Structure 1
């Protein structure tokens, strides 16, 4: 045992010595067990999964804008040698994130909440900062040294959450949390990089006020990912303003751009909130206009919709329902492919018909491996339904721990048996809301300006946050503001 302990210590020492590298930002040596080549490979491997998970937002002008600004900023960064890629993904969540190797993503949700190019540039610099300071590589190193696996974002029992991660096809990398020191360093880099390409970094500080108000508005609801992983927005407001002033003073107080009107015109017509064509929930029913089906959501269950799949989670965290398209040309092929993909061992199956659709129902078990001990542990039980609509095959998987499965099986069955064709015209033809940019004709308060442009009273605060303004703030004739409408 002593010999083994010595060998382990020797191996750790070897890893630490061989893994020393100079951080491109600080110039200091640090233990990094992930090479630059591995970072690039991780990013290249993650990118197809990211775009499949969220989809790209189909607006060539906006995609060109983020790539042009991103490449300009990457060129003056501490790691200009990387081949960066910048994309806007089709999600309403307020978020921006980067994965190793130079892949940077902004959601359309966060793009809608920026009110000028300088705010966007500050957050862009922040995300590039995560890449240049090798924050993901450091997190990976901690995971290797501590033998800690990556954790997903789902708040479910360990067995059920692990199944969800597998169904999400290894998206754990996206939910890797950075420490607050890393976030503060990225804020500093955001100020430096955005200022260097000519933008007023104090505008990024103003955007943190928008985030703080959004956080307060969320209250009991889960806060956006960009807020949950970052330091308190109000603290950041003060710090970033100080950093911006310091940079200006050190560089001769140059004239820096804000470009408010240019940015607002760019996002005019942008989809706001959930896009109905991707599916939407209303009165505890999930509707999908493009695929023309509907099914219920169990009362009180949380839900998340992406282009890849629709998930419903029991609020107690003991059960999960996942709807996704299934591979294969027949019900049997699809069931076999799902069982192989998710390491399921079927125990029972039967043919059935669900509201005119041919279907196959099966029960299967999954034995899971403890990531730390390597031992086989009690897994989950799955009640699956494969439903055929012409050439399209859907898999609806109800997942629970074996002990909880009998209590949830009736709900799984009830949801599956209520899957049916969507025929209601108002659901099939539902249009998304969009950000509309209007030019004011009169001087007034923001509240009066929004009301006169058709914003209902119950949404005034929401649209004020979208504009980064207070409702009692004065707005002038000729000024551009955002409203929301179809």
Structure 2
């Protein structure tokens, strides 16, 4: 179903918004199951149900000739470029995330911004990606993407609007054409890797590693998108200071994670959108054109919290869960633990773990050939530098297994493979040459790998963002104690609620917690 708004004053849902241009552009939430298209400020559609959560004046009538984004874009070569790359982008980020409530929220925000776009004829297709990574980016032709991880970190609608308006700025300024050239070069590079390593998987992984570079623009383009984005925020009636505020939140997340934002893919947005202090201050300067901080614009916090209540947080069931030092996958029925001090990073292509002194672990699974012994599989050529004389067949918690050692210029490796049903699970542990930690690390992984019990499988549930009201007598400490999935409950609670040092809670205040 598509509904067209004929007059700007026929919708009254955006408290504090004041679009200043005729509404001509179209926006589509690409992740809506039925391919719903939303024109201008027409939001809140799912499948073929009626428009909901909105109040219209009596002169509003559905269009007899609804215009879809696909029709608007059909002769746009830039949109064809975006459409060509869209399936790969969605696949590399774990698919689309579907939740009607959250989709309506994003459509509502995007619709307000579309109405004040630099190019009112530009159409946009927004997709929510099913990824815990914190990222948003754009492809040529108006393809916009935001991850559920970014939605979970944001604290109000204006912060999400700040991100989307920035990406819309890239689109309307045609910044994507230059990136498309880099994207084509990245594809060529991945083919070279595949040929050199004789592995299509290696080529795919190289392409996945390149996706951050594909989202990167020049500093000049980033600053230009900042200016456009802040202006759109203010003209749409949102808090124009939200851009600087959310950059601060992401910087706080980087400190919480204690990782390098230039290399950690869970911080994709910071990797492709540098958040230098000077840039944050420039965003504040642009915002001051609308007034003083705290006195202008709507944050949209209340309807934002309603829209993300129940949002999936962290890993999805299809990729397994990380719980502190343990990885568990209910569908595969397996679990293992990493040594104390290691951090697990659950990627789509593999589970990675990093520890002190440059120790690294990779875990994945492949389909098993039941007619091939594990010793023969180990020497079949998939491990470079394998030392054949070290191959040993064994059993691990009742499952057939094999172990071996491998060596490269700077690294020593332990390789462990375990057969379970129709799959072979693989551990590759790497330490710098001469390190004494190889044996103990590999032993911890091997000995902890086992089948999950039926009770463990039944009890394993995904984590979600839950919006709750603070009750009388509750404090930041007591609320943080309700957090799940992290040992640093207080730190994460403060972070996802953007609570500064010395902050306190008041009864009735709505806050986010992470729980099942």
Question: Residue 42 of structure 1 contacts residue 100 of structure 1 at CA under 8 Å; is this kept in 2?
Answer: no
What CA distance in whole angstroms lies between the structure 2 residues aligned with 1:145 and 1:473? 49
Matched position secondary structure for 1:170: helix
TM-score (normalizing by structure 1): 0.65
CA root-mean-square deviation: 5.1
Aligned residues: 419
State which drifts further: 63-72 or 289-298: 63-72
Question: Residue 202 of structure 1 contacts residue 240 of structure 1 at CA under 8 Å; is this kept in 2?
Answer: yes
Question: Residue 339 of structure 2 contacts residue 441 of structure 2 at CA under 8 Å; is this kept in 1?
Answer: yes
- Alignment equivalent of 1:242, drawn from 285, 288, 304: 285
Answer yes or no: is 1:59 the counterpart of 2:108. no
- Alignment equivalent of 1:262, drawn from 303, 306, 310: 303
Question: Residue 66 of structure 1 contacts residue 86 of structure 1 at CA under 8 Å; is this kept in 2?
Answer: no
Answer yes or no: is 1:122 the counterpart of 2:165. no
What CA distance in whole angstroms lies between the structure 1 residues aligned with 2:314 and 2:269? 16
Residue 421 (structure 2) aligns with: 390
Taking the TM superposition and a 5 Å limit, the aligned residue runs for 1:307-326 are 307-313=348-354, 320-324=361-365, 326=366
- Alignment equivalent of 2:151, drawn from 98, 101, 111: 111
1:454-479 residue CA offsets vs partner (Å, 9 max, x unmatched): 64797445323322233534655544
Unpaired stretches in structure 2, ≥5 consecutive residues: 1-76, 191-195
Deviation of 1:400 after TM superposition, in Å, equals: 6.3
Deviation of 1:420 after TM superposition, in Å, equals: 1.9
Deviation of 1:111 after TM superposition, in Å, equals: 1.0
TM-score (normalizing by structure 2): 0.62
- Alignment equivalent of 2:327, drawn from 286, 297, 307: 286
Residue 476 (structure 2) aligns with: 450
Deviation of 1:121 after TM superposition, in Å, equals: 0.7
Deviation of 1:394 after TM superposition, in Å, equals: 3.6
1:303-330 residue CA offsets vs partner (Å, 9 max, x unmatched): 3103442123565558652313x24664
The 1:433/1:417 distance shift into structure 2, 3 A limit, reads closer
1:401-456 residue CA offsets vs partner (Å, 9 max, x unmatched): 998999969966874575321238467624444433233466x9xxx643454647
The 1:477/1:353 distance shift into structure 2, 3 A limit, reads closer
Deviation of 1:71 after TM superposition, in Å, equals: 6.0
Deviation of 1:120 after TM superposition, in Å, equals: 0.8
What CA distance in whole angstroms lies between the structure 1 residues aligned with 2:377 and 2:176? 33
Answer yes or no: is 1:472 the counterpart of 2:508. no
Q: Give the number of the structure whose residues are more often helix, by fraction.
A: 1
Residue 371 (structure 1) aligns with: none
Residue 439 (structure 1) aligns with: 469
What CA distance in whole angstroms lies between the structure 2 residues aligned with 1:408 and 1:400? 7
Higher relative contact order (CA 8 A, sep 6+): 1
Residue 10 (structure 1) aligns with: none
Unpaired stretches in structure 1, ≥5 consecutive residues: 1-34, 151-158, 367-377
What CA distance in whole angstroms lies between the structure 2 residues aligned with 1:105 and 1:55? 11
Question: Residue 249 of structure 2 contacts residue 498 of structure 2 at CA under 8 Å; is this kept in 1?
Answer: yes
What CA distance in whole angstroms lies between the structure 2 residues aligned with 1:386 and 1:472? 51
